[in-house]
């Protein structure tokens, strides 16, 4: 038997780790959810609420995940059992379930980005809004969607087969800078659109009244979890491959704020387009957000840009290439949670674990390719509610069960006792009650999505 600990891979540089972690956080969530939830939820006021969640709950919990990963150097499933006792194994298994579940539908959406990038550059996306809906139905569901889902999963599997250094780290080092360049280029291009000013105003105008609405508060919290890759041990898994004793609170802040920055700049691209082309009515601004987020990116924006001729085709192509980069660097982290758990838990080889579970996830994604209501329900249940459940229990573990050990590990890089105290207070006293409240608030929406799924 090989001694897994002897051959365990690791990141080769701090930059590699940070870029991979930012790659996990920055994903489809930044592009298809953030700007919409923000506009619907009170513009600048929402952005501030979101930042508050990120600062008060997101960064402390992310730091907690990093601490657990680095101090144990094993997969979350084993880490939790080792630190908390056997009673914590179910939480580790929940993480693996979330990885399998989220990647299954995430890959379907990511598959669309491949198709749209290719067809965008070719100018093959219809520029008439009505035809664009038919085009989406033709390429975004059923067998064509299964096809692009297969391609995306095959690429994800290939990268994860390469391991931490040669697969995940190398991919992040190449793709993340390209993603930043594309994003900034697109946002600058959007400044040139006439009438875009109204878009910025809509996006950023503070509407304080909305902030008291519980659904808005839940969507800000849920968005923070999904976007920061929190609550399912993704960053815990990444940190288990860290050797150096960096300041993990600072790493968490860097990852979280970069993720926010990308989401924010993506909004600066999306909103001027919506107002320049007067798409507000088409996408139903003012209606419940969830149903039209996919519609905006894939149905309204591409034909509008396509109507600008060659330049428009280039912008559409570049936009979907950027989305694809964002998606694949997140997808590899979702698969890595599962693969690391299987390697560390069952002593399988990386090749076997990646292939077997990669294929299983590919199969699990097929229902989402055939039924968008299934996709929406899976996203709400796993990508939102279960991540918050995972986050709640992570906070309880770190804040109560293993606090002294966790504090010692944190002290390895974070030398200020005051800052450590603040971290502990947020993890112990702020995160659990807020998360319980938010979870209670999110039940009605979950029920609505379930009813839509089963047709009542
Ligand atoms: N953070 C990713 C996004 O915003 O698209 C999604 C995600 C990746 C969620 C990894 C959870 C995770 F563990």
CATH code, 73: 1.20.1740.10
Of 79-83, 276-280, 333-337, the range with the lowest mean pLDDT is 276-280
| Atom 7 of ligand 1, residue of closest alpha carbon | 229
Q: What is the DSSP code (8-state) at residue 231?
A: S
pLDDT at 244: 86
Alpha carbons within 13 angstroms on the beta-carbon side of residue 209 total: 0
Gap from CA of 25 to ligand 1 centroid (Å): 5
If you average pLDDT over every residue of the chain, what do you get? 90
Q: Answer yes or no: pTM beyond 0.85.
A: yes
**Nearest atom (ligand 1) to Cα of 226:** 9
Paired tokens of 272: 């001027």
Gap from CA of 92 to ligand 1 centroid (Å): 17
Proportion of the chain above pLDDT 70, given as a percent: 95
**Strands, DSSP E only, in 40-157?**
none
Q: Over 90: is that where the pLDDT of 213 sits? A: no
Across 150-154, 211-215, 242-246, 267-271, the highest mean pLDDT is recorded for: 150-154
Pocket test for ligand 1, best of 36, 224, 330, 380 (most atoms within 8 A of CB): 330
Gap from CA of 229 to ligand 1 centroid (Å): 4
Higher pLDDT, 241 or 286: 241
pLDDT at 293: 57
Dihedral in degrees, nearest 10, Cα atoms 337, 339, 344, 350: -150
- Ligand 1 neighbour 233 (Cβ under 6 A): no
Q: Over 60: is that where the pLDDT of 5 sits? A: no
Average pLDDT over residues 60-83: 97
Pocket test for ligand 1, best of 168, 260, 334, 378 (most atoms within 8 A of CB): 334
- Ligand 1 neighbour 226 (Cβ under 6 A): yes
Q: Over 60: is that where the pLDDT of 290 sits? A: no
pLDDT at 2: 47
**Nearest atom (ligand 1) to Cα of 232:** 13
- Ligand 1 neighbour 92 (Cβ under 6 A): no
Gap from CA of 244 to ligand 1 centroid (Å): 25
From 176, 449, 215, select the one nearest 333 (Cα to Cα): 176
- Ligand 1 neighbour 25 (Cβ under 6 A): yes
**Nearest atom (ligand 1) to Cα of 331:** 8
Higher pLDDT, 366 or 209: 366
Contact 188, 179 (CB under 8 A): no
Question: Tokens 């002593």 label which residue?
Answer: 347
Q: Using CA atoms, how far apart are residues 224 and 151, in angstroms rounded to an integer?
A: 29
Gap from CA of 26 to ligand 1 centroid (Å): 7
**Nearest atom (ligand 1) to Cα of 234:** 13
Q: Using CA atoms, how far apart are residues 366 and 101, in angstroms rounded to an integer?
A: 12
pLDDT at 109: 94
Q: Band the pLDDT of 285: cuts 50, 70, 90.
A: very low
pLDDT at 281: 56
pLDDT tens-digit readout, 21-39 = 999 999 999 887 777 677 7
- Ligand 1 neighbour 333 (Cβ under 6 A): yes
Of 102-106, 190-194, 237-241, 444-448, the range with the lowest mean pLDDT is 444-448
Average pLDDT over residues 237-259: 96
- Ligand 1 neighbour 234 (Cβ under 6 A): yes
pLDDT at 291: 47
Which residues contact residue 382 at a Cβ distance below 8 angstroms, ignoring those fewer than 6 apart?
A: 97, 98, 101, 102
Average pLDDT over residues 293-301: 75
pLDDT at 408: 96
**Nearest atom (ligand 1) to Cα of 327:** 5
Gap from CA of 260 to ligand 1 centroid (Å): 13
pLDDT at 108: 96
- Ligand 1 neighbour 330 (Cβ under 6 A): yes
pLDDT at 294: 65
pLDDT at 121: 94
Q: Over 70: is that where the pLDDT of 152 sits? A: yes
Contact 281, 202 (CB under 8 A): no
pLDDT at 201: 86
pLDDT at 358: 98
CB 454: neighbour CB atoms within 10 A? Answer: 8
Structural domain span for residue 52: 4-284+293-454
Contact 164, 23 (CB under 8 A): no
Gap from CA of 213 to ligand 1 centroid (Å): 25
- Ligand 1 neighbour 225 (Cβ under 6 A): no
Q: Using CA atoms, how far apart are residues 199 and 14, in angstroms rounded to an integer?
A: 38
- Ligand 1 neighbour 223 (Cβ under 6 A): no
| Atom 12 of ligand 1, residue of closest alpha carbon | 229
Pocket test for ligand 1, best of 226, 337, 341 (most atoms within 8 A of CB): 226
Contact 203, 38 (CB under 8 A): yes
Which residues contact residue 353 at a Cβ distance below 8 angstroms, ignoring those fewer than 6 apart?
A: 338, 339, 342, 343, 346
Gap from CA of 237 to ligand 1 centroid (Å): 13
Counted domains in the chain? 1
Proportion of the chain above pLDDT 90, given as a percent: 68
Gap from CA of 230 to ligand 1 centroid (Å): 8
Gap from CA of 326 to ligand 1 centroid (Å): 10
Contact 386, 16 (CB under 8 A): no
Q: Over 90: is that where the pLDDT of 43 sits? A: no
Higher pLDDT, 344 or 129: 344
Q: Using CA atoms, how far apart are residues 275 and 269, in angstroms rounded to an integer?
A: 11
Of 47-56, 117-126, 289-298, 404-413, the range with the lowest mean pLDDT is 289-298
């Amino acid at each position: 038997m090989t001694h897994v600990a002897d051959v365990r891979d690791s990141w080769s540089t701090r930059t590699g780790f940070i870029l991979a972690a930012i790659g996990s956080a920055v994903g489809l969530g930044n592009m298809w959810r953030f700007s919409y939830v923000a506009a619907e939820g009170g513009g600048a006021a929402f952005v501030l609420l979101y930042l508050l969640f990120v600062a008060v709950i997101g960064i402390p919990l992310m730091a907690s995940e990093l601490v657990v990963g680095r101090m144990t150097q094993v997969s979350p499933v084993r880490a939790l059992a080792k630190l908390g006792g056997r009673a914590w194994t179910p939480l580790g298994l929940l993480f693996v379930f979330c990885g399998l579940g989220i990647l299954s539908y995430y890959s379907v959406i990511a598959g669309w980005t491949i198709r749209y990038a290719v067809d965008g550059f070719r100018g093959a996306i219809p520029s008439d809004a009505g035809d664009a809906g038919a085009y989406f139905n033709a390429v975004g569901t059923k067998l064509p969607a299964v096809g692009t889902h297969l391609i995306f999963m095959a690429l994800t599997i290939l990268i994860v087969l390469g391991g931490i250094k040669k697969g995940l780290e190398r991919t992040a080092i190449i793709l993340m800078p390209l993603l930043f360049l594309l994003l900034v280029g697109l946002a600058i291009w959007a400044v040139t659109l006439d009438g875009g000013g109204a878009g910025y105003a809509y996006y950023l105008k503070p509407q304080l009244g909305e902030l008291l609405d519980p659904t808005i508060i839940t969507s800000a919290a849920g968005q923070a979890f999904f976007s920061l890759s929190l609550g399912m041990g993704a960053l815990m898994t990444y940190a288990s491959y860290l050797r150096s004793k960096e300041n993990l609170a600072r790493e968490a802040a860097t990852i979280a704020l970069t993720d926010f920055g990308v989401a924010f700049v993506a909004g600066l691209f999306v909103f001027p387009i919506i107002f320049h082309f007067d798409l507000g009515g088409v996408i139903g601004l003012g209606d419940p957000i969830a149903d039209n987020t996919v519609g905006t990116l894939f149905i309204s924006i591409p034909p509008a840009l396509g109507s600008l001729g060659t330049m428009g085709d280039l912008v559409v192509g570049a936009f979907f290439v950027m989305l694809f980069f964002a998606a694949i660097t997140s997808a590899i982290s979702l698969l890595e949670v599962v693969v690391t758990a299987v390697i560390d838990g069952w002593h399988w080889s990386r090749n076997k674990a990646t292939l077997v579970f990669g294929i299983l996830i590919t199969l699990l994604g097929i229902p989402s390719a055939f039924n968008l209501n299934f996709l929406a329900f899976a996203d709400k249940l796993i990508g939102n509610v279960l991540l918050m459940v995972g986050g709640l229990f992570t906070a309880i573990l770190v804040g109560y069960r293993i606090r002294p050990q966790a504090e010692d590990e944190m002290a390895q890089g974070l030398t200020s006792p005051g800052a450590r105290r603040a971290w502990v207070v947020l993890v112990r006293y702020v995160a659990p009650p807020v998360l319980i409240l938010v979870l209670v608030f999110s039940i009605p929406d979950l029920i609505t999505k379930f009813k839509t799924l089963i047709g009542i």
